[in-house]
Chains A and B, each alone.
Chain A
Amino acid sequence: MKIQQDVYFDDLEPGHELPGREYGPLTIVDTVRWAGLQENWQHLHYDRDWVREHDGLRAFIASGAYRQALLMRMLTDWIGPRGWLRKISIRHTHPTFEGDTMRYSAVVVKKSPDPADPWIECELEGKNQDGRQILTGRCTLLLPPKTRLNTGAT
């Protein structure tokens, strides 16, 4: 398979917006498939009657780990095979209910002054189909400079 690296440290500056992603609408198939992977049988993620009775919610909600996985997929796709997701912090601010979408965005806010230590920091945000924020976060990404490739390989 051909190695395609589209993003380089040298080309980025604070203010650069990463390509956003939209996932969903969330279905019971999505949440059950995730529950199976995680072996997480909490009714919160698939049982409409139970969440109304027990949690006072109008519908089941996506697992936080599932939402994080989709956000991380957006980042690891963008940094390419020679990039490295070094750090991510996430704060969940509103649930994703059945039928909701997850729209993720990221913007570069900081860049290493040292090309020998090529990292950038991004602010992350997730919103639902109504524009309501569902999560915020921050990440540190290592990117290859054009002159010296950084694979993170061991």
Chain B
Amino acid sequence: MSEREVLSEVLLAWIGRTSPLQPLEVLSASDVRRYVDATGDANPLWLDDDFARSLGHRGRLLPPLLVGWIPFSLKEQGASERLASFDLRRQLPVPENYTNVRNAGSETEWLKPAFLGEPLSSQSRIVDIVARPGKMGMGIYVTQEEQVFNPKQEIVLRRRHTIALFPKQPFGAKEGSEGDR
């Protein structure tokens, strides 16, 4: 497909669209434990309240990657409208065969600590949609900006994340060098 074919006016109209401010699920100690099990990242800052307090924090911190964490299942289409709106990219009117989604990259900034059990909220905005040819065909690159707020409405995290969508690939076509999910 050509660039003009994949970038319809309806799709491009999503640039600038902003999600409502959404409360995020409060992460629990067992979420952090499962993160530590998966990564081996047993930093006492996210496991030991006393240790964190000895450094002047009010309790243990969330591991940076879990700040603003949204379980993938909540972002999937097919969830309720409220849950689907966590991730505007899931609702984009891309061509039907564009089911091959890859993580093209991100930039994340942590402005303040976020703590275990702290209620956080998030808002996101589609900032760019472009098409570029690559080894896996004509890719659609969607960039979204997200902000995560603490209960004082202070920004604790800013992220700019790009995903790439490609057409379904036949076996042995390419190895996905444009990135991974």
Stretch at the interface among A11-19, A40-48, A106-114, A115-123: A40-48
Q: How far is the CB of A23 from chain B (nearest CB, A)?
A: 8
Q: Judge whether A93 and B179 touch: CB under 8 Å.
A: yes
User: Among A45, A69, A94, which residue has the most Cβ atoms of chain B within 10 A?
Assistant: A69
Q: How far is the CB of A10 from chain B (nearest CB, A)?
A: 20
CA distance A52 to B39 in the complex (A): 27
A37-B35, A39-B72, A153-B113 given as contacts; is B172 within 8 A of A56 (CB)?
yes
Q: Judge whether B44 and A85 touch: CB under 8 Å.
A: no
Q: Judge whether B106 and A37 touch: CB under 8 Å.
A: no
Q: Judge whether B38 and A3 touch: CB under 8 Å.
A: no
Contact among B44, B101, B169 with A81 in the assembled complex (CB-CB below 8 Å): B44
CA distance A88 to B63 in the complex (A): 14
Q: Judge whether B73 and A39 touch: CB under 8 Å.
A: yes
Contact among B31, B65, B74, B102 with A72 in the assembled complex (CB-CB below 8 Å): B65
Q: Judge whether A55 and B65 touch: CB under 8 Å.
A: no
CA distance A66 to B103 in the complex (A): 11
The interface size of chain A toward B, counting residues with CB under 8 Å, comes to 54
CA distance A90 to B168 in the complex (A): 25
Contact among B58, B65, B101, B169 with A69 in the assembled complex (CB-CB below 8 Å): B65
Stretch at the interface among B8-16, B48-56, B123-131: B48-56
Chain B residues in the interface with A (C-beta under 8 A): 31, 34-35, 37-41, 43-45, 48, 50-51, 54-58, 63-65, 71-74, 99-110, 112-113, 168-177, 179-181
A-B contact pairs, 21 of them (CB 8 A): A1-B51, A34-B38, A37-B31, A39-B72, A41-B73, A44-B181, A53-B171, A55-B169, A56-B169, A61-B181, A65-B103, A73-B39, A76-B64, A81-B43, A85-B110, A88-B108, A90-B106, A94-B177, A94-B180, A95-B176, A153-B55
